[in-house]
A and B are shown apart, each in its own frame.
Chain A
C-alpha cells in the first residue's frame, strides 16, 4: 500500500469510526452506571431519521441535530423508565426499542416524504460540511506529516472533531469529577452510593440521558455528515459494533477511541477490496472483514486477551429496601 492510498483509507477510517466512537462513549456512560444498553442501534437510527427529516424540512443542520438528539433522548427516557423506575429487564428493553426504532423510522419518514422510507437528499446548510483545519495550506508541503494533516485530519465535519473531543471530556468527567466517581460507584455498588445519601435513581437517569445525547450525535452524524440524508436501516448494525468496541475497550474512554478506530479501519478496508489484494497479495473476502469486529469481541469476551469484566452492578435493577 503506498502512502497516498494509506491516507485515503485512514481518512475514511476516521469518518467511519466517528459514529462508532460516539455510540461507544454513549454506551460507556450507561453501562458504567449499571444500566446495560443494547439499544444503541435503535437510538442512533431514530436520531438519524429525526435529524435527516428536520434538516430537510428546515434547511438547517443545527435544527436537524437538535431533533436527532431529542428523538434519541426520548428512546433513552423510555429505556430509563423501563429499567430504572419499573426495574424491568434492561436487555429486553434494549432489544424492544431497537425494533420500535426500526419500525417507527420508516413509518415516519414515509409519511413525511413518501420516498420509500428515506428522507430527501440534503445539501448546503442542511448538512455538516467539511471544515478545513487551520494552517492546512502552510503544513501541506511538509513531507509525510503535511499530507497526513491535510488529507486525514483536516476536512471533516464538526461532529468528527466533536467526537474526538468527547474522548478526553469523557475521561475527565469519569475520573476527575465528583459526578464521575459517583457514576462509576453506582455501576459497581449502588448500595454504597445510596448509603452516602446520593440518589441512585437520579444518577442512573442522568447517565441514560447522556447516552441519549451521544447516540443522538452519532445518528445525526450518520444522516447529515457521513451521508446526505436518512435511509432505512442506515445504521446497519453500527450500534452493535459500538457495543462490541465498548467491551473491547473494557469500558474505558481512551481504549474506546482505539477500539473504534480499529473497527473503523476494518470497515474502511472492507470498502476497498482492491487495496487489500494489492497489499496483502491475497484477496480477503469482504464478509470476513465485516465479521472481524464481532470475532475480535468474542475473543476478548472469552478472556483470551485479558479479561473483560463489566461493571459489577450492570443489568441489576436497584431496590432500595427489601
Chain B
C-alpha cells in the first residue's frame, strides 16, 4: 500500500472516517423517519448555542480527555486497555473514600487528595490485568473486559451493603462535605461572566488540560516515554535495547488506569458529589473512540474529546427535542470506532487511489 502524505494520515483519515460515520447516521435518521438537518441544528444549538450548552459540552469533554488519554498511553505500549470504564468506576470509589474520610476545609486541599485517591484506585484496578498480561501472558483485552464487570459488581455490592448511609433508600454514598465541592465554571472569576452557576463543567477541565500536557511530556520528552513507545513499536527491538517488557506493560497500564480513574474527580467529585452506581456512564468506552479519532496524540485526544463532548450533549438535546432517540449517540460512537479503528485501511486505500491519481496528473 502506498504511504500517504503525513498531513493526510493525521488530518484527512480521521476526518473522512468521521464524515462516513455521520453520513451513515444521517441515513439511519432518514430511515426511521427523522430529519437529519433538523437533528444537526438541534445538536449544534443544544451543545454550542448557549453558555449552558457549552457548560455541559466541556463537562463531558473533560471526562473524555481523561479516558482518551488512558487508552492512548496504553496504546503506545502496544496494549489495548478496554477497561477504562471499570477503572473510572473504581477511581470514583477512591474519590468517594477520600472525600468522605475528612471534613475537608477547602477544595484546594481536597482536590489533590482526591486526585491521588482516584489515580491510585484506577491504577490498582489496571494493575491486576497488567500483571497477568506481563507475567502470565493473559490477553489484556479479555482481562480488562472481565474487570469492567467485576468492578461494577463490586461497586453495586459496596454501595448497597457497605457505603450506603443508614436510612437512605437509593444505593449511593453519603453526600460529600461542602469543603470538597469543586468550583464550577459559573463560580470561577472571569468564566462566571459567561457561565451560569448551574453548569456541571468545573475546575477539573484545567486538570484535564494539564494531563494532556503531562502525557505529551511523558511520551515524547522523557526516557520512560521513549521506552514505552519503542516497546509498543517492536517488542524484539525493545528487548534488544535492554527495555524490560514486564516493566513497560506495568508502567503503561498503571498510568493508563490512573488517568481513567482521575476521570472520577470530574463526574463524582465535580458533578454528582457522591458515588452512584454506573458512575462512569460509558465514558470509559468513549475513550476508545476519542483515542482512535485523536490518533493517540494528546492534542488529537483533546480535539476528539471536544467533538465527543459536543456529540454527547448535542445527542442528549436531540433526544429531548426531536423524535430521534438519544441512542443515536451510541450508533455514531460505534461507527466512529469502526471507521477510525477497524476500517482505517479502507479509508487509506481510497485516499491512496486519489493521491496516486494526483501524482500521475502532476507528472
Contact = CB atoms under 8 A, between A and B. Distances in A.
Nearest to B335: A100
B331 A104 contact: yes
B156 interface: yes
Question: Do most interface residues of chain A lie in helix, strand or loop, or is the interface mixed?
Answer: helix
Interface residues of A, number: 48
A91 B344 contact: no
Contacts of A303: 136-138
Interface in A65-111: 78, 81-83, 86-93, 95-104, 106-108, 110-111
Contact of A106 (B82, B157, B325, B332): B325
B154 interface: yes
A65 to B, nearest CB: 23
A91 B141 contact: yes
B19 to A, nearest CB: 16
Interface string B141-159: 1110111011001101100
Given A99-B333, A106-B325, A38 B141 contact: yes
Contacts of A38: 141-142, 145
B334 A108 contact: no
A297 interface: yes
10 contacts: A86-B345, A86-B346, A93-B341, A95-B285, A96-B342, A100-B330, A104-B331, A117-B327, A294-B147, A303-B136
A92 B149 contact: no
Interface in A101-128: 101-104, 106-108, 110-111, 117
B342 A82 contact: yes
B17 to A, nearest CB: 11
B345 A298 contact: no
A103 B329 contact: yes
B235 to A, nearest CB: 14
B338 A97 contact: yes
B166 interface: no
Max count, chain B CB within 10 A of own CB: residue among A98, A244, A302? A302
A273 interface: no
Contacts of A302: 132, 136, 138
B333 A82 contact: no
Contacts of A83: 342
Interface in B293-335: 324-325, 327-335
A97 to B, nearest CB: 7
A100 to B, nearest CB: 4
Interface stretch (A55-63, A175-183, A282-290): A282-290
Interface string B1-39: 000000000000000000000000000100111000000
A217 B329 CA distance: 28
A256 B231 CA distance: 36
Interface in A193-248: 232, 237, 240, 243-244, 247
